[in-house]
Structure 1
Amino acid sequence: MTRVYKVNAFVQNNRGGNPAGVVTNSENLSEQRMQKMAHEMGFSETAFISSSQQADFTIRFFTPNKEVDLCGHATIASFHLLQEQQRIHTGRYTMETKAGILNIDCLEDGTIYMQQNVPQFCEVVPPSEIVPCLHLEKSKFSHDIQVVSTGLRKIFAPICDLATLESIAPNYDAIIEVSKKYSVTGIYCFTLEVESCTARCRNFAPLVGIYEDAATGTSAAALSCYLVQHRLQKVEACTQFSFEQGYSIAEPSLLKTRLQVQNEKITRVEVAGRAQTEKYVDM
């Protein structure tokens, strides 16, 4: 039997968050077995932790239907659980992923900081290609729609206001087609027209089995870079942002990011959050 924990990452006041499956000892699991378990658990991602010869841990991430290179909320969930089980303590650790070896900082208050890759700013997507995906008019996009990656390629769609963001009725078939065309995991929609945080966000990634989720760490990190690149936020040497997500599915979540910028170039990207272990099952 293999024990799989359900851990909610990016919780806000111990509520909401994005659930991830976490297996803390996957040394003897085949890739086929990991995929089957992830499918049966049904979370947007399940993380499988094992030893590494290059880092403190190796972590692999599986959606219900495929493996992905990296996952922010499942990473936060994994290191929260390792800390809760006293396998790690306050300090810096490294993890080996298919996106590279990344640093993780575990703070005393339970906050987990996860390093991302420096950003890659890729194709600008014509609004006409996103209109049918979201059932929106072109006028509802406030800035350029662009593919950005800090580990996973995603289309970032800036929405003019909160009411429009909340009204989006995604066309999943159209999103799958545009995701295939641009080799991305999905579309991350956001609006800056909020007062409680930097932006309110929604994530649609049906190509990898995620119709909408409560918190997407890799996307929040890449969005921070998008905002800096397009000069939509004030930039300092160390710039911090906060993002709300999951409100449309009644799972309110809070994601924090931190960028280091030197000579107008982003040199370090981190996403941070807290997590809460809910339960486990034996499979």
Structure 2
Amino acid sequence: MKMYQVDAFTTELFKGNPAAVIVTEQWLDEALMQNIALENNLAETAFVKVIDAENYEIRWFTPTTEVSFCGHATLASSFVLFKDYTAALTLQFHVKDLGIFVVSQDADGKIKMNFPVRRAEKIQQYPEILKQILSKPFKNVYLNRQAYIVEYENSQDVLDEKPDLALLKQWSKMQSLETKETALDLAITAQATTYDCMSRYFAPANGIDEDPVTGSIYTAIVPLWADKLGKKEILAYQASTRGGKLYCELLENERIEISGYAQLYMQAELYL
């Protein structure tokens, strides 16, 4: 079985967020998919099931769990499909609970993904434990179905932040047990100078201490900054060690286009 590893949201190898991609005619056993993701030990492994040359289903697994939405592994999967599996210029992913993602590729290789907006709401009574998890002062706290999003005063604080990941993991898991929902993650964000916004993302309860680039959370972060800055096009940077650049545009009908580049790192043969 063929597997690809692709660096997403970057034009350089060893930058962006690496994802593994496996394209199949039928879904593998769920336990096998989870074991492959664990063995890969990447933020996400994507499994893509072919419907036809323009239509696909997609699922995403961290080393510890299946997740409902992953942007960078969708970009990596699109890169692989455009490279080796279809001559189509546009393809569609059929996603459980999220509908259809329409994806296209420009002549220069940039991949454009059309996602639903998943807005975050400002919360006045935020959990006090956030002050223990985070070491820097913050302005506002927002929440969507995926994560708490904490707005900082400046981008330097985003860069300098060293969260208490053990406490975040413990708290997120306790919340998950109480709500019987997937553990919530934590994003931090601030206005930047070279970019419109700079962010970081932490998900220790879901097997990822710091995610290099998190495409899915920009369905919430970009609408926040679009409103604050009075513009629909947002250039975002995720300031992890690897770093990644996201070209975003807020569209009508509660949709968002998130775009980026990808680089192939590896093709491998799995012996299963």
TM-score range, shorter chain: 0.7 to 0.9
Alpha carbons of structure 1 residues 145 and 26: separation in structure 2 relative to 1, 3 Å: farther
Shift of 1:134: 1.7
1:161-196 Cα distance to aligned partner (Å, 9 max, x none): 22221221121232224434375541111111x211
Output the TM-score relative to the length of structure 1. Answer: 0.84
User: How far, CA to CA, are the matches of 1:189 and 1:13 in structure 2?
Assistant: 25
Indicate if the aligned counterparts of 1:148 and 1:226 stay in contact, CA closer than 8 A: no
Shift of 1:14: 5.6
Alpha carbons of structure 1 residues 177 and 117: separation in structure 2 relative to 1, 3 Å: farther
Shift of 1:113: 1.4
User: How far, CA to CA, are the matches of 1:67 and 1:19 in structure 2?
Assistant: 17
In structure 2, runs of 5+ residues without a counterpart are: none
Match of 2:91 in 1: 93
Match of 2:256 in 1: 269
User: How far, CA to CA, are the matches of 1:26 and 1:243 in structure 2?
Assistant: 35
Shift of 1:123: 6.3
Shift of 1:148: 2.5
Amino acid of the residue matched to residue 278 of structure 1?
Y
Whether 2:173 is the aligned partner of 1:175: answer no
Alpha carbons of structure 1 residues 31 and 86: separation in structure 2 relative to 1, 3 Å: closer
Alpha carbons of structure 1 residues 123 and 129: separation in structure 2 relative to 1, 3 Å: farther
Amino acid of the residue matched to residue 259 of structure 1?
L
Indicate if the aligned counterparts of 1:52 and 1:96 stay in contact, CA closer than 8 A: no
User: How far, CA to CA, are the matches of 2:67 and 2:103 in structure 1?
Assistant: 19
> SS of the residue aligned with 1:119?
coil
Match of 1:197 in 2: 195
User: How far, CA to CA, are the matches of 2:85 and 2:115 in structure 1?
Assistant: 25
Aligned with residue 260 of structure 1, among 242, 251, 258: 251
Shift of 1:156: 0.8
Q: Compare 71-80 and 214-223 and name the one that shifted more.
A: 214-223
Alpha carbons of structure 1 residues 105 and 189: separation in structure 2 relative to 1, 3 Å: same
Whether 2:120 is the aligned partner of 1:129: answer no
1:75-94 Cα distance to aligned partner (Å, 9 max, x none): 0000111111152432x221
Amino acid of the residue matched to residue 229 of structure 2?
Q
Aligned with residue 138 of structure 2, among 135, 141, 146: 141
Indicate if the aligned counterparts of 1:218 and 1:271 stay in contact, CA closer than 8 A: no
Q: Percent identity?
A: 26
1:32-75 Cα distance to aligned partner (Å, 9 max, x none): 1110000000110000011248x700111000000011110000
**How many residue pairs align between the two structures?**
261
In structure 1, runs of 5+ residues without a counterpart are: none
Over the residues paired in the alignment, what is the CA RMSD in angstroms? Answer: 2.2
Shift of 1:252: 2.4
User: How far, CA to CA, are the matches of 1:176 and 1:15 in structure 2?
Assistant: 27
